[in-house]
Homo-oligomer: A and B are copies of this chain.
């Protein structure tokens, strides 16, 4: 039998390293541009590596940004939520037991069987809210 899961491939390691280094969400095409120097030059390669990382719980997709971020507590089983600063781009990942309980209670009541839950707060982080970075925007370019 196969004990544990496969190790990451070279590409998967590279993508994860880039996400960790960035410390904020990168789009698949951001990653692709960063990897052009290293022989990766097609979208599917990047998307496949991302699929693996997300399946494995090493990265998350941020739906409201169409982007990906390294998991801050790899392989956790509970659901993840995100607070995303629109001024500086930083993302805080947090787990919230009460939030999760609340959503599970809802499933109980309604019979809806959730397989995946997205919770994303968009706004300003404490630092940016203080600083008068009140109306800036992060640009991907």
Contact = CB atoms under 8 A, between A and B. Distances in A.
B123 A115 contact: yes
B118 A92 contact: no
B122 A114 contact: yes
A115 B122 CA distance: 6
Nearest to A124: B113
Interface string A87-112: 00000101010110011001100111
Interface residues of A, number: 33
A120 interface: yes
7 contacts: A92-B110, A94-B106, A107-B123, A111-B129, A112-B123, A118-B119, A119-B119
Given A63-B64, A99-B102, A116 B122 contact: yes
A63 B112 CA distance: 19
A58 interface: no
Contacts of A63: 63-64, 118, 120
Nearest to A94: B106
A121 interface: yes
Contacts of A130: 111
Contacts of A102: 96, 98-99, 102
Nearest to A98: B102
